[in-house]
Structure formats: C-alpha cells, structure tokens
A and B are shown apart, each in its own frame.
Chain A
Amino acid sequence: MMNKPELLATAASLEEARALLNAGADALLIGDDRFGMRLAGHFSLEETAAVIELAHGMGRKVYAGLGGLMSNRLLDELPAYVKAIGELGIDGIEFGDPAVLAAVKSEAPGMRLHWNAEMTSTNYFTANYWGRKGASRVVLARELNMDEITEMVPLLEVEAQVQVHGMTNIYHSKRGLVASYMAHQGRPVEDGNLGKERGLFLIEAERRDEKFPIYEDINGTHIMSSDDICILEDLHILLAAGVHSLKIEGLLKPIAYNVAVVKAYRHAVDLYAADPQGYAFDEAWMDGIRALQDPERDLSFGFFYKEQVY
C-alpha cells in the first residue's frame, strides 16, 4: 500500500482544532501572531499546550507556523518561544527566515523544520538547498502548476506539502494600507481595527465580480485571492505524484466550512489509499463544501492548470 499522505489543516482556536481533528485532520498548523504569517488564529502557549495534548491524545500532529519576516527586535523573543514550544512537544516548525534556523539549532535541536517561503518556494533545487540546511519538508508555492508539482516531487530530497483548498495570499506589505487610505480620505478608523474579522475587501476597477479580502495585522497589510482553491476533483493526481502533505487553508473561514472541507478530503484520501486503482472522484463529495461555500467566492483550481508568462 502507498504511503498515505498527511491531511493538514489550519486552526484558529482550540475549538476549531478539536473540530478539525474530529473531522479527520492528521495534523494542525497553529502559531503565535508575532512569528507566524497569516495564521488562521493566535495561540498563547497555554492554548498551544492544550492543542498539542488533544492532538497527541488522538495520535495526530501539531506544527507551529513561524513563517514571518523577522525584524531585529523579534530576535530577542524568538529563542524563548522556540524553546517553549519545543518543550511542549510541538511536532515541527514552519519557517521562511533563516533566523529561525539559528533559534531552532540552539533552543530545540532536532526539531522538524518545514520550509515555507510562500510564493517564492518555486523549484526543487532550492527546496533541496533548505533540506541541506535542516528542513525535512517544503511547502510549495501556490503559483506552481500541476506539471511543475508532479515533475518536482521525484527530484525532492524533502517532503512536499501542497495547498489543496482555501484562499491564498497575493500581496503582503509592511505598510498599513487600509489605515493609510482612510487617513487620506479624512475618515481615519476610530478603534484602529482593520483585522480579519472586519470583512474588508477590494474590487479592482476592471474586475467587478471579484472580491479580494484585505486585512491588517501586526505584520502589515495582506490581500487575499478572490477565489478558493479546490483540487478535490483532481486530488488523485497529487496523490499519485507522492505529495506527502495536503494542506487545507482555513484562514477567514467559519469552522463549519473547514470541517466540511476536511471531511471531504479525508474521505477521498482514505478511499485512494485503500484502492488507488479503483478510486474515482464522486461529485457528491463536493456537496458538503458547496453547501457552505461563500456564494461570492468561486472554487477554482488556482494555478494548477494555468500557464504563466513573464
């Protein structure tokens, strides 16, 4: 039998963590907003401990996202955090900034490292480079297409993780762009809250039917895709290619939606693992997702079948 890939989901709270584990997630990605990048939610050390206890009790894994772009100042806080989550038994750390490598080396040696530079993790050579620096997994850019992914997997000396569902980031600035715009309008926001829960979005002048969510947090301004990746229909291609981890991005989604997504992919992964030859996608698997899909956001194949030029 094939190696069954891991089904990984992001959680925004302990409540969501529990729900996603019950729905069949093999692993959860959580983290601390100071170090993480576009985390679904912020977890204190106490909450992190609770998620780890819960997940480990079910034989599942918990990874911490430390994919932020680190400033000098943050380096003072980084080692203590890495040490703390190491002692709590976190199963792996996602990183982009090389500063995290140094902190892990000194504070949690032996910790699993997953390299995630988001849109810039685009080739096998660089993934293997980070593999030699200690990473055991690469989180591939969402802008790669299916051919690039499938031809890449056999060339990788590390595991491959691919996002199979949810939204993606398309622009990240350190600037507070929404706050700046409101100040320019002469109507600065009173309570300063321009975060995820506020439901802000942009519409580009010539794309009136696409809503691009935008929010600010301590890492700056984030603009997100107007559609949600959904690869369920063609999941067998990634499974056959030997992708090790399938990520469900739950950012800016209600728990019930993420639960439905995890259940659908859980079902597909299990069926494929049991009988790859007899496996066939069934449109009905989409029902649970479609019932809760935001009607203003399309489900799409993302960049899986796109050709890009430059």
Chain B
Amino acid sequence: MGTMTKPQFKGKRYRLDKPELLAPAGNLEKLKFAVHYGADAVYIGGQKYGLRSGADNFSFEEMREGVEFAKKYGAKVFVATNIYAHNEDIAGIEEYLRNLYEAGIAAIIVADPAIVDTARRLVPGLEVHLSTQQSTLNWQAVSFWKEEGLPRVVLGRETSLEEIAEIKQHVDIEIESFIHGAMCSSYSGRCVLSNHFTDRDSNRGGCCQSCRWKYDLFQDDRPEGAWVSEEEQAEATAPQRLQPGITQLPLHQPQDNPFSMGSKDLCMLESIPDLIEAGIDSFKIEGRMKSIHYVATVVNAYRKAIDAYMADPEHYELKPEWLEELQKAANRPLNTGFFYDTPDHEDHIYEPEEKAAPYDFAGLVLEYDAESGMALIQQRNNFKPGQEVEFFGPDNTFFKQIVGELWDEAGNQLDVARHPLQRVRMKVDHPVAYFDMMRKRK
C-alpha cells in the first residue's frame, strides 16, 4: 500500500453531522487528558469482563469521577465489556452491568451475546455497542444486531470504506470504526495463539501478542520439493532443528528476516474526508495501554483535522504538522489497514522493532502568569536548563523553546527537575494554559 488513494466518496453533498472522536482511557488521569484534548467520548475498562486484564482498569468509584469530569465537556464514557464469557463469568454479569449503569456509563462495548442479551433485558437505559471482536463485516449481520436493539456496531477492521458505505446505505445504525492504533492482524477474536503458547486466554484479556513473535517458515518436503527452485534449495542452509530423519525445506535464507504476523499500526489521519463521507459515525482510537502523551497527542491531531473538515469541507486541507504530531507518539510504522485495499507485505513488520515513541511527556502546565510569562509545571520526566522542549495543547498552544532557569516553589534554583510530580517554575516564550503539555525528545 503506502500511497494514499484520492478521496473516493467526496460527492456534492457534504455530511452535516460531526462524527464522534472516541479515545481510549486506561485510567482516570488518561481519561481527563483524552477529554480535555478533544475526545467526544472515551472508552475504559472495568475490573471485570474487559480485554485488557493487564491495564489499570477503573473501579466504580473512579468511573463515577470520570463520568462527572467528562460531563463538564459534554463527553460520554463507554466501558469495554468485550470478553467472550465462559460459564463461570455468567453469574456476575447482572450485578456488574447494574453498577455500570448507576455509575453513569453511557454505553458498553460488547462481544458476547450473553452480555448483549443480559444488558438489553436488565438495563435498557445502558446502550450496547457491538464490539469489533464479533468481526461484523456485512450489512445483514449489522441489521441483525440493530433488530436486537443495538444502536451501534463496531465493524471488523477488515471492512473497506466501500463496504462501510454500503452498510450505511442498507441499515440506519451508527457505525464505529477503528481509525488509529495497533491492530490484530487476525480477525479480532479469531486468534488463540496465546492460549496455545502460554495457556493465557486471549479472548478474556490474556493476549500475549504472539503474532509479533518471530517464526520460521518451512515446507514439508514430503510432497516433493517442486515448489521452490533448485537454486533456492541449494541456498537453503538453515540447520535441521527438529529430530533427525525429518525432511523439511526452509523457506527462508540466512539473510532473511523471520516470518511474523505482526501488523503495522493503523493511521487514517490523511483520509479524514473519506471516513466522514463514507458515513462512519464514530472514529475510534486504539490504546487503553498507551501513555498520556500518546492519547493527548493523537486525540489532539484528529480533533483538529475533524474540526477543520467540518468547518469548511470544500477548502479542507491536511496540515503536515498534524501528521508530524502523530509521528511523535507513534510506536510503530503506520498504514491504512483494510480501508482502501487488503494489507500486503508493506503493511507488516518483519524487521526488528524499535518500539519506543521518540518523545517523552516532560511536564504538565498547572498555572501560567501572563504578566511575568512564568509557568508552574508539574514534572513528568526529568528536564533541565538548555534542553529543547515543545509545548502543545488543545487550544492552539504549539511552540518549541529552550528550557531556561528553573526554580522550585520555595524559590530555590534547580539544575534539573528530577523528582516525579515536582512543581517547577520556568519562563515560557509564549502563553500556555492549564493542561497544556511539555514534551521533549528522548
């Protein structure tokens, strides 16, 4: 893939309703950043029934606080209740769903019909959104779920823009699509590599990402070696690693990268007009395990693009700095998934990965005094005078500067802001606002 296709769905009539920007929130603090940076809704995990058993996950008390915070911005909170339940999980579902509803949760994201059915019966006020784990790919299946009382379906990541537009034409229902972040290369839910390799149940949150491990590809030599050239056979020098006497043909050479199922990450920022015109109602960002810096940066970029397009579709242009922003948070190379065509070799990662994003969250702006130009900053990663930092925020704060002198709150000068959450005063070159972030290159 690589090159972007020209917008295909731009007709004469532009869509009038703004799509929802839906962001992940791994904990209460991330929720606040996601909402403040422009998410219309966030999705979180509770203590049970979610697919990220390794994430912080919210208590009901934290959910209530998150809902209250979001409400001030007019944003909603959804809870991922997206496991495939086993018998032992059934008993607690009713109580859990009641608690979610009482905590003010707007919707749950559900894969298993056991939870769909229970929620519809028990708490009709709680919206049920069908999870991508159901791998819903066609309009008839979408129609089935609409008749079951679901106002929204999160489609399988395998649907193309064209197919999404067809589904919207056939069924009057909200469609949510992942537009950014890491992807299962399998049909979501259709992978039990973790179960087989590590006895961890991937469909109950135990995924150990075996798709990103390294494999060697062989061919059983018993049906004759007719499938590869003699030259290749001669070059195939990998040692026999199984028991002696077994015949197999390596389909990899010493200089090759190993086989992997690992996918590049999804990024649809360059295709916002296509997504909107296809009729997608909710743009979903992946990443409940990702950092605050990641969530704020990604939400910020998409917020700006969506708002710019909706304000003036005819003259909309992608700003290069939005893409540059995303790169600052990117963990992996990016691609456009299945939206335009089926991913091929350029959409997979065979090379060794450098997983770390290039920037760190260095500090959070707590206060700004316009008269003195001084900001009070909460340390999130150490920084010191002479370093280049970058301020950004949801209300157009965006500039680089060199860190000057630093003081603690008692007025002592600091050679470095080294303590986590330490409150530090410094002069900033331009106005900043509460909740703006300061990042630095790693």
Residues of A within 8 A of B (CB): 69-72, 74-75, 97-99, 101-102, 118-120, 122-126, 129-130, 143-144, 148, 151-152, 155, 169-185, 187, 189, 193, 197-205, 207-209, 211-212, 214, 220, 223, 225-226, 296, 303, 306-310
A-B pairs with lowest CB-CB distance, top 5: A310-B206, A199-B220, A98-B144, A99-B140, A125-B114
A72 partner residues in chain B, CB cutoff 8 A:
137-139, 163, 166-167
In the complex, how many residue pairs between chain A and chain B have their CB atoms under 8 Å apart? 232
Find out whether the CB atom of B90 lies under 8 angstroms from the CB atom of A184: no
Taken residue by residue from 28 to 65, chain B's Cβ proximity to chain A (1 for < 8 Å, 0 otherwise) reads as: 00000000000000000000000001000000000000
Find out whether the CB atom of B257 lies under 8 angstroms from the CB atom of A201: no
B263 CB to closest chain A CB, in angstroms? 8
B396 CB to closest chain A CB, in angstroms? 40
A199 partner residues in chain B, CB cutoff 8 A:
219-223
Find out whether the CB atom of A205 lies under 8 angstroms from the CB atom of B215: yes
B132 partner residues in chain A, CB cutoff 8 A:
none
Find out whether the CB atom of A172 lies under 8 angstroms from the CB atom of B191: yes
Taken residue by residue from 186 to 209, chain B's Cβ proximity to chain A (1 for < 8 Å, 0 otherwise) reads as: 110111110111011111111000
In chain B, positions 125-144 with a C-beta closer than 8 Å to chain A are 133, 135, 137-141, 143-144
Pairs across A and B, CB under 8 Å, 24 listed = A70-B138, A71-B137, A75-B139, A98-B144, A102-B140, A174-B342, A176-B342, A179-B344, A181-B259, A181-B260, A182-B251, A198-B227, A199-B220, A199-B221, A200-B217, A200-B218, A220-B187, A296-B243, A306-B199, A307-B199, A308-B195, A308-B199, A309-B206, A310-B204
A223 partner residues in chain B, CB cutoff 8 A:
193
Find out whether the CB atom of A143 lies under 8 angstroms from the CB atom of B195: yes
C-alpha gap A118/B190 in the complex (Å): 8
B143 partner residues in chain A, CB cutoff 8 A:
102
C-alpha gap A74/B87 in the complex (Å): 34
Name B345's contact: one of A75, A126, A170, A181 (CB within 8 Å).
A181
Residue B426 CB within 8 A of the other chain: no
Residue B14 CB within 8 A of the other chain: no
In chain B, positions 238-286 with a C-beta closer than 8 Å to chain A are 241-243, 246, 248, 251-253, 256-261, 263
C-alpha gap A205/B197 in the complex (Å): 12
Name A309's contact: one of B88, B187, B201, B260 (CB within 8 Å).
B201
Taken residue by residue from 143 to 154, chain B's Cβ proximity to chain A (1 for < 8 Å, 0 otherwise) reads as: 111000000000
Find out whether the CB atom of B144 lies under 8 angstroms from the CB atom of A170: no
Name A74's contact: one of B138, B210, B216 (CB within 8 Å).
B138
Find out whether the CB atom of A172 lies under 8 angstroms from the CB atom of B190: yes
**In this complex, what residue of A is CB-closest to B83?**
A310
C-alpha gap A125/B91 in the complex (Å): 10
Find out whether the CB atom of B140 lies under 8 angstroms from the CB atom of A148: no
C-alpha gap A69/B197 in the complex (Å): 25
Find out whether the CB atom of A308 lies under 8 angstroms from the CB atom of B206: yes
**In this complex, what residue of B is CB-closest to A98?**
B144
A220 partner residues in chain B, CB cutoff 8 A:
187
Taken residue by residue from 349 to 392, chain B's Cβ proximity to chain A (1 for < 8 Å, 0 otherwise) reads as: 01000000000000000000000000000000000000000000
A309 partner residues in chain B, CB cutoff 8 A:
199-201, 206
Residue B214 CB within 8 A of the other chain: yes
Q: Contacts A75-B140, A120-B189, A308-B195: A203 and B342 contacting too (C-beta < 8 A)? A: no
B192 CB to closest chain A CB, in angstroms? 5
A303 partner residues in chain B, CB cutoff 8 A:
195
In addition to A120-B189, A197-B223, A204-B213, 13 A-B residue pairs with Cβ atoms within 8 Å of each other are A71-B163, A97-B137, A119-B190, A124-B87, A170-B191, A171-B190, A172-B187, A173-B186, A202-B259, A203-B215, A211-B218, A220-B187, A226-B196
Residues of B within 8 A of A (CB): 53, 84-90, 111-114, 116-118, 133, 135, 137-141, 143-145, 156, 158, 163, 166-167, 185-187, 189-193, 195-197, 199-206, 210-211, 213-223, 227, 232, 241-243, 246, 248, 251-253, 256-261, 263, 338, 342-345, 347-348, 350
B310 CB to closest chain A CB, in angstroms? 28
Find out whether the CB atom of A310 lies under 8 angstroms from the CB atom of B158: no
Q: Contacts A99-B141, A175-B185, A202-B259: A122 and B219 contacting too (C-beta < 8 A)? A: no
**In this complex, what residue of A is CB-closest to B118?**
A125
Find out whether the CB atom of A170 lies under 8 angstroms from the CB atom of B193: yes
Find out whether the CB atom of B144 lies under 8 angstroms from the CB atom of A200: no
A177 partner residues in chain B, CB cutoff 8 A:
185, 259, 261, 348
B85 partner residues in chain A, CB cutoff 8 A:
122-123, 125-126
Find out whether the CB atom of A203 lies under 8 angstroms from the CB atom of B140: no
Find out whether the CB atom of B252 lies under 8 angstroms from the CB atom of A185: yes
Q: Contacts A72-B139, A123-B89, A208-B241: A171 and B186 contacting too (C-beta < 8 A)? A: yes
C-alpha gap A239/B47 in the complex (Å): 38
**In this complex, what residue of B is CB-closest to A209?**
B242
A119 partner residues in chain B, CB cutoff 8 A:
84, 189-192, 203
Find out whether the CB atom of A120 lies under 8 angstroms from the CB atom of B138: no
B83 CB to closest chain A CB, in angstroms? 8
B10 CB to closest chain A CB, in angstroms? 21
B191 CB to closest chain A CB, in angstroms? 5
A148 partner residues in chain B, CB cutoff 8 A:
86-88
Find out whether the CB atom of A200 lies under 8 angstroms from the CB atom of B251: yes
Q: Contacts A171-B190, A171-B193: A203 and B137 contacting too (C-beta < 8 A)? A: no
C-alpha gap A169/B263 in the complex (Å): 20
Q: Contacts A75-B138, A119-B203, A308-B199: A205 and B213 contacting too (C-beta < 8 A)? A: yes
Find out whether the CB atom of B90 lies under 8 angstroms from the CB atom of A125: yes
C-alpha gap A193/B139 in the complex (Å): 31
Find out whether the CB atom of A184 lies under 8 angstroms from the CB atom of B257: yes
C-alpha gap A200/B259 in the complex (Å): 12
B344 partner residues in chain A, CB cutoff 8 A:
175-176, 179-180, 183
C-alpha gap A134/B248 in the complex (Å): 47
A196 CB to closest chain B CB, in angstroms? 11
B220 partner residues in chain A, CB cutoff 8 A:
199-201
B222 partner residues in chain A, CB cutoff 8 A:
199
Q: Contacts A181-B259, A199-B219: A174 and B187 contacting too (C-beta < 8 A)? A: yes
**In this complex, what residue of B is CB-closest to A68?**
B137
Name A202's contact: one of B84, B215, B241 (CB within 8 Å).
B215
C-alpha gap A118/B135 in the complex (Å): 13
Find out whether the CB atom of A171 lies under 8 angstroms from the CB atom of B261: yes
